[in-house]
Structure 1
C-alpha cells in the first residue's frame, strides 16, 4: 500500500482520536459539574434544615413570650384587684408575727409556740407589701422567661 492510499485512513484515525479526546474532555467537565451540583444540593438541604430549625426556635420563643406576657398581665390584674379591695376596705391584710419581750439589752422571753400574734396592716403598709409582691412576681416571671429563652434559643444552637 502506498502512502497515498493510507492517507485517507490516517486522516480518519486522526479525526477519531481528536473526537475521542474532545469527548473525554467533555465527559470530565460533565463529571466535575455533576460533583459541584451534588455539593450545592447537599449545602442547600443543610441550609433548609437550619432555616427550619431557626424558624421553629423563633416560634417557640414567640410562644414563650406570649405565655409570659399573659401570666404577667394576669398577676398584675390580680394585684390591681387586691389593691382596690384593700383601699376600699373590702379586704384586710394581716401578718402573723412572733414577738419577744426585751428587758434592756437582754431578751427575757424567747420565741415559743404561742408567741405568734396576728397584726392588721395599715392601708399604706398593705399597698407597699402588694408592690413588693408584684415586683417579686414580675422578677420571677422574667427569670423563668430568660432561663427558657437560654434553654430554647441558645442551648439548641450549640448542638
Structure 2
C-alpha cells in the first residue's frame, strides 16, 4: 500500500495559504489604520503651520503698525518741543484772542497804553502739556482703531 501524500500536502498548503492570507489581512488593516492616522496628523500639522504663518503675519503687521504710530508720536512730540523752544526764544509767538487792559481796567478809546497780551508762564506750560497730551491720545486712538480694523476684524 502506498501512502498518499497529496491530501496531506494539499491540507498543509491550504493551511499555509490561510495563515498567509490572515497575516496579509492583519497587516493590510494595520497599514490602513496607520495611513488614516498619518493623514490626520498631516492635516493637523498643516493646520498648525497655517496658524503659525498667520500669527507671524499678524505679529509683523502689529510691529509695523506699532512702529508707524510710535514714529508719528515721536514726530508730534518733536514738533511740540520745537514749538515750545521757539516760543521760549521769541522766534514764534502764541496767538491769543484777548483784550488787553491798562492797569486792570478796560479802555475802549485807546490801546496805546495797553500791555502786550501774553500767557502767564504756568498757562504757557499748561498749553504745551495739553497739546502734547492731545497728540498722544489722538495717536493712541488712531493706533487702536487701525489695530482693531486690521487685526481683530480678520
State the TM-score, normalized to the length of structure 2.
0.79
Query: Is residue 2:121 matched to residue 1:130?
Result: no
For the Cα contact (< 8 Å) 1:61–1:149, is it kept in 2?
Answer: yes
For the Cα contact (< 8 Å) 1:94–1:121, is it kept in 2?
Answer: no
| 36 and 97 in structure 1: CA distance in 2 versus 1, 3 angstrom threshold | farther
SS of residue in 1 equivalent to 2:40: helix
SS of residue in 1 equivalent to 2:153: helix
Unaligned runs of 5+ in 2: 100-116
Structure-2 separation of matches of 1:130 and 1:24: 84
Q: Hey, what does 1:69 align to over in structure 2? A: 70
Structure-2 separation of matches of 1:52 and 1:97: 60
Structure-2 separation of matches of 1:59 and 1:136: 28
Root-mean-square deviation (CA, aligned residues, Å) is 2.0
Q: Which has the higher strand share?
A: 1
SS of residue in 1 equivalent to 2:92: coil
Query: Is residue 2:24 matched to residue 1:23?
Result: yes
**Residues 93-132 of structure 1 mapped to structure 2, 5 A cutoff:** 93-96=94-97, 120-132=118-130
Q: Hey, what does 1:142 align to over in structure 2? A: 140
1:72-97 per-residue CA deviation (whole Å, 9 max, x = no partner) reads 11111111111111111111111236
CA drift of 1:120 comes to 4.4
Comparing 23-32 with 4-13, greater Cα deviation is found at: 4-13
Structure-1 separation of matches of 2:26 and 2:134: 75
CA drift of 1:122 comes to 4.1
**What is the number of equivalent residue pairs in this alignment?**
135
State the TM-score, normalized to the length of structure 1.
0.76
Unaligned runs of 5+ in 1: 99-118
Q: Hey, what does 1:101 align to over in structure 2? A: none
Structure-2 separation of matches of 1:67 and 1:81: 21
SS of residue in 2 equivalent to 1:94: coil
